[in-house]
Amino acid sequence: MKARIVPILFCFFVMGFGDAVGTFVGLAKDYFGLSASMAGLLPFFGFIAFALFSVPGGVLMGRRGKKFLLVLSLVIALVGQLVPSLTLASYGVLVAAVFVGGIGMALLQVAGNPIMRDVSAEGRYARNLTFGQFIKSLGSIAGPALAVAIMASGLAWGWIFRVFAACLALTLILVVLLKVEEKGKAPTPPSLASSFALLGRPNVGVMVLGAFLYVGAEVGLNSWVATYLHEAFAFDLRSLATAGIAFFFLALCVGRLVGSAVLHFLPARRFFVITALIGLVGTIGILVPVRSVSLVSIFVAGLGFGNVFPLIFSTLIDRMPEKSAELSGLLCMAIAGGAILPLVMGALADVSIVAAMLVPLASLVYLTVIAVRAYRAVPA
């Protein structure tokens, strides 16, 4: 692995801080005396930033370059952490900070995923991108762990923003010093119209929808699996059921690390089929009315889920490298699925939690179909 990949891996690590917004819900509810619905606005504002700013970010990247957008994204994300570091006077300040941080994280993903191709050796993009997602998982785990450690030391939970700000500042310095030759520049600068026009191409539209469903399924599953375990097997929501979420995140982390190793010798398109099938089998297994099978299946599902997004990303970018800016914007816009599908699952959960769990199952069926299609589209 080349040394110039290190600053990009730092970018992936701080990307994981965006997932900490889920941890802030309970803390903000208690700190500001909020209702559950008001506190629940935090992840919504974090995810909606992806829907609003990813495609414009891709257009800007196509015109000014990936490194430019990477630096800009880190500056915006840093501002989002500095504001609550200085004051948490009101819930409005926190919401604004989460939204600004969400904009930074959206642009960071738009630039970070394709620039990994520029710093990777030939044929190593999918492997390195998967390893980057593993590093992102470590950042996702670090957020809640830091919050617990900070409060255990007697400090206010708001100190976590200062730690995040310090990590972002270090990453910004490393990226500014990075020298990279950007590949796949389009002869004609992209626009919003040209970006959205790509959705009309069947191979692009189905993949972007796949990314939307994948992120929605992942967020929906980790949001509702504890409730499912509680209602299906009478698990205590404060202990065993919540442990099921940790089990899922651990599997995501392990799956991404294993995936980066497997992609040393297995073509990305073939591995896409395998990982989608593993995720599908695991999601089906969660619904089996046997406690031990359901618990093991949560881990199996996480192993499969862990590699889907980087494989969708690398498959599409490798197919159309000259459109990397537009495609990156569209694929990161699809992360907004994490705001939409959990709401659908919540509405269904009012009727039946099993009905709600059919949403990620249907998503995995779709992902398996497009994985098979992508594999067949390219000669062995």
Number of H helices, E strands in the chain: 17, 0
CATH number at residue 319: 1.20.1250.20
Q: In terms of domains, do 247 and 314 share one? A: yes
Q: Find, among 325, 315, 215, 224, the residue nearest to 272 by Cα.
A: 315
Burial of 349 (0-12, 13-18, 19+ CB in 10 A): buried
Mean pLDDT of the residues in the chain:
85
Q: In the predicted model, what is the mean pLDDT of residues 154-180?
A: 90
- What digits encode the pLDDT tens for the residues 324-354? 888 888 998 998 888 788 888 888 888 888 9
- What digits encode the pLDDT tens for the residues 223-261? 778 778 888 887 765 555 555 666 787 888 888 888 888
* CA 234 to centroid of chain Cα atoms: 30
65: left (phi over 0), alpha (psi -120 to 50) or beta: left
Q: Tell me how far apart the alpha carbons of residues 275 and 304 are, in angstroms, rounded to a whole number.
A: 5
Instruction: Pick the last residue of a domain from 183, 209, 229.
Output: 183
Q: In terms of domains, do 108 and 225 share one? A: no
- What digits encode the pLDDT tens for the residues 190-213? 888 888 898 888 789 999 999 999
Q: Find, among 327, 323, 324, the residue nearest to 117 by Cα.
A: 324
Q: In terms of domains, do 172 and 277 share one? A: no
Q: In terms of domains, do 7 and 56 share one? A: yes
E strand intervals along 274-339: none
Give the range of the structural domain holding residue 266, as residue numbers without chain letter. 187-380
Instruction: Pick the last residue of a domain from 183, 202, 226.
Output: 183
Q: In terms of domains, do 167 and 195 share one? A: no
**Residue burial 145-157, b: 16+ Cβ < 10 Å; e: rest:** ebbeebeeeeeeb
Q: Tell me how far apart the alpha carbons of residues 56 and 76 are, in angstroms, rounded to a whole number.
A: 15
Residue 374 above 90 pLDDT?
no
Q: In terms of domains, do 148 and 289 share one? A: no
Question: How many Cβ atoms from other residues are within 10 Å of residue 337's Cβ?
Answer: 25
Q: In terms of domains, do 257 and 361 share one? A: yes
Q: What is the DSSP string of 194-257?
A: HHHHGGGSHHHHHHHHHHHHHHHHHHHHHHHHHHHHHHHH---TTTHHHHHHHHHHHHHHHHHH
Q: Tell me how far apart the alpha carbons of residues 79 and 220 are, in angstroms, rounded to a whole number.
A: 29
**What's the one-letter identity of residue 34?**
L
Q: In terms of domains, do 141 and 227 share one? A: no
Q: In terms of domains, do 176 and 192 share one? A: no
Q: In terms of domains, do 179 and 136 share one? A: yes
87: left (phi over 0), alpha (psi -120 to 50) or beta: beta
Q: In terms of domains, do 174 and 203 share one? A: no
At 366, the pLDDT band (50, 70, 90 cuts) reads: very high
Q: In terms of domains, do 246 and 365 share one? A: yes
Number of domains in the chain: 2
Instruction: Pick the last residue of a domain from 183, 217, 252.
Output: 183
